[in-house]
Amino acid sequence: MIGQQPKQTAAHHYHIDTVVELLVILTLGAVTLLYSPVFADNFLAKSAVASGLSLWLGAVLWLHPEARKVGRSGVIYAFLSLFLLQALGSAYFARNPFRGIEVWLGYLGWLALLFVGSYLARDPARLRRILRAIQLISILVAILGILQYRGIDLVGLPPRYLKIPVATLGNTNFVAHYLDLILPLSAALLLARATSWGDRLLAAVALAACSTLLFLTDSFGGVVSIAAAVVVIAVSFVHRPRTWLRRSGVLVLCVVLLSAVAEVCLRSIPIDDGRRTADDLVSDVAEESWATVVGVLDRPGRVPGYSSSMRILIWQDGWRLAKGQGWFGVGPGHWGTELPKYRTSASHRDWRGLIYARHNQAFYAHQEFLQEWGETGLPGALCLVALLGTTFILCWRVARSAGTSSCVAPLQRTMGFAALAAVTAASTHALFSFNLRDPVVTTHLWLIVGLALGAEGAQRRYAVPAVVKHVVTVVLVCLASLGTWLSVSTLISDAHFARGLGYVHLRQGNRAVLEFGEAIAWRGHEYLTSHWLGKVHLEMGRPRQALPPLQHSLQLHAHNDAALRLAARAAIELEQPELAVDLARQAVAVDPLAPDDYQLLALAQRAGGRYEDAVAAWRQAVAFHPEDAELLAAMAQDLHAAGQTLDAVFVLQQALTLKPQDGRSHGNLGAFYLQLRRLPEAESHLRQALQLDRANGAQWSANLVQTLMLQEQWTQALKWAQSGLSAHPEDERLRHLLRTLEDRQEIR
């Protein structure tokens, strides 16, 4: 029995290794290939899957005693731990702590992937299997993207993405984020002596397919990031130029020779019912790719376009946000919800002029270090910089100083170069994008770094007391379980939310309400779901049911001007003017250049009987649209209610100059003239109102009858009173005027 103990232990360790390897491949495949119209936000779904699976990877591997070995790369864990502690503190003090914890668990997944990659790299066979899986997945992604560019969609993308090569990654920016890591890895494996010819062929296919996809995306950021990685790798080889020149020459020669063979093979493959060959298809793709390259690298004058202008505006506002934070920032995942608070009037004007009808929101800074400063404070940003810098240095050392005494050394050196290039490309792209928020990128990046650092020979196993081991195990299992629960709830909630949006578009409000309610039940800390629930209730004429979810949405995102407007409208309909005024003022503070907010504020002030304040709000709204007759007419009503009848007359005259066929304005102006006893003008405008605005005919008829009575035109007054009451028999004012006229006639 004693002799069987080591065998059982070895078998146990083998099973753990197998489970971890399969989980790694599952994680890579699921995060990269997940795309479904079932979800409203596939980026969020990928983040949830990455967080849930990677945490279990770390928890399972912790049970393996051989995994608790740390080599010279152990310093990277120190910086990553500091970053995690800072982010956890920021999440605790955030407005929406649950959202902060979600993002923090994603950060914790970095540590798990680094830990897992470091362990898997110790077995060359296992390392090679992981690399093959990465290559195969990247080839599949590239094929899907290239086919989409040719108009063949195998994923089920929305119609607006027709002929856009996004594969399963969401948009072309995310594709470029992903290829920043795959292209250096494929190039390193292709040029390495440590891989078999089969692996080199696989790497060559991945390199060719992914390069084509990058060109088709027209991503200038992706090209710049890859160029930065190439420069760094070139610098690392300055002491051996002849070797790599010779290898490059051999590679070029092989490509030339193989291209001739490939051309013959492609010409023998018919497509389109024999009208064309596969060689024609490849030629078309090559020509389009070259045109894309020329368009990316040869833009006339390099005039900043929409993308550049958008980033500049976001960075200006983001700088104010970052400077306004203390030690902990606004919290992980809170950048987009807190940024509107730091926008100036000029920023609002420029943003509105740039975005126009796109309705885009700046939920990311498009600059990772600036966003990290804003979300986790300056210490968090410094920890991130230190983490990436340390990773770069360690990968450089692995690539430059890998020994030759071990059979692992050549592959270790290859992984060192691949990780060095990947870190360089990712860090470069992080200067003008949000790739470190992309779950596909972080999953691959930290796994590749772990694979590169884990193959080093000098490692030391640290003894862990049994109590500490059990405590850490319990903590890891709890965190992994929490991550799984949040991931599952996020996926279910997002699926309900997507169905709810579908019902909204189909104008099936009751079903949409049910779906949004289910989404909130699963994930109540998402402001957008509560926002939509309140919006649908309000559009269905249910202000009492609309107000609570809108207020809950504002608790999670206090600067959501759209929710503020909806909540103010609901409060007005519920006759809560004080609340409506407060909400409308908040909306004005969030976006001072939105005319609708001032109109809403004016209506709220009117509902509360504050007519002078309402007039002030109308004046601000009119300043944006001085030729809007409806705004002028509304302001005139509140001027009259505030006792400023002469001003109301002047404003209504302006409104009628702009819109002379507005019956309501004619009627109101006639009523104002009647009050001022300017009876001929009152009669003229009231007669026009009766012709143009039959909906308010009872009111205009009564005013006209009263005007004629004051002018002692009794016959005309009696005639209009009779016709008015005949058209509006329910109007008591007309009935009273007619009775008065009939009594006078009897007396006479």
Which domains can be identified in the chain, with CATH numbers? 12-296+305-462 (no CATH), 526-624 (1.25.40.10), 640-748 (1.25.40.10)
CA 222/CA 174 separation, integer angstroms: 10
Query: What is the pLDDT, as a whole number, of residue 32?
Result: 93
Query: What is the pLDDT, as a whole number, of residue 141?
Result: 93
Q: How many residues does the chain have?
A: 748
Query: What is the pLDDT, as a whole number, of residue 565?
Result: 93
Contact yes or no for 306/232 (Cβ under 8 A):
no
Nearest 5°: CA angle at 568, between 340 and 347?
20
CA 495/CA 604 separation, integer angstroms: 37
CA atoms within 13 A on the CB side of 111: 23
pLDDT in tens, 9-37: 667 667 778 888 899 999 999 999 999 88
CA 403/CA 172 separation, integer angstroms: 40
CA 595/CA 625 separation, integer angstroms: 8
367 backbone dihedrals φ, ψ, rounded to 5°: -165, 100
Q: β-pairing, 276-277 with 459-461?
A: unpaired
Task: Specify which of 106-115, 149-158, 277-286, 310-319 reaches the highest per-range mean pLDDT.
Answer: 106-115
Averaged confidence pLDDT in the chain? 83
Mean pLDDT within 452-477: 71
Query: What is the pLDDT, as a whole number, of residue 626?
Result: 87
Question: How confident is residue 498, by pLDDT bands cut at 50, 70 and 90?
Answer: very high
- For the record, the structure tokens of 631 come out as 């705004």
Contact yes or no for 90/141 (Cβ under 8 A):
no
320 pLDDT higher than 70: yes
CA atoms within 13 A on the CB side of 134: 30
Mean pLDDT within 129-148: 93
State the DSSP code for 155.
S
461 backbone dihedrals φ, ψ, rounded to 5°: -90, 125
288 pLDDT higher than 70: no
Question: How confident is residue 604, by pLDDT bands cut at 50, 70 and 90?
Answer: very high
Query: What is the pLDDT, as a whole number, of residue 405?
Result: 45
Query: What is the pLDDT, as a whole number, of residue 181?
Result: 92
- pTM above threshold 0.85: no
